Amino acid sequence: MAAIAINVLWFLIGLIILCGIIYLAIWVIESFVTPIPEQIKKGVWVIVLLLALIALISAVVGGGSFRSPFAKAESGRIVTADRTLQPQRL
């Protein structure tokens, strides 16, 4: 149960950072380059929402885990929040 809570926490932190980066990119493009049509902006946010929902469902169901950027690497494997060893993906 604690592993799910930690996965959801890392998911939320990542989602906030991702949304901030996308918002900043849209703001910079609109301020300095050219206005972006509303349909394009809505489409970008819908894609972000769909990807976030897929990631959240897979984290809650257990299909994947969000690794902390501060996770300890041990001999090519990473210790996740639930203290299991998983092969490190390149």
User: Can you give the residue range of the structural domain that contains 67?
Assistant: 2-87
Summarize pLDDT for 11-31 with one digit per residue, the tens. 888 889 989 999 999 999 989
Q: Which of 59 and 38 is assigned the larger pLDDT?
A: 38
Average pLDDT, the chain: 76
Overall domain count for the chain: 1
Region 47-75: what's the mean pLDDT? 70
HEC profile for the chain?
A: CHHHHHHHHHHHHHHHHHHHHHHHHHHHHHHHCCCCCHHHHHHHHHHHHHHHHHHHHHHHHCCCCCCCCCCCEECCEEECCCCCEEECCC
Q: What is the pLDDT of residue 71?
A: 58
pTM > 0.95: no
**pLDDT interval class at 74 (50, 70, 90):** low
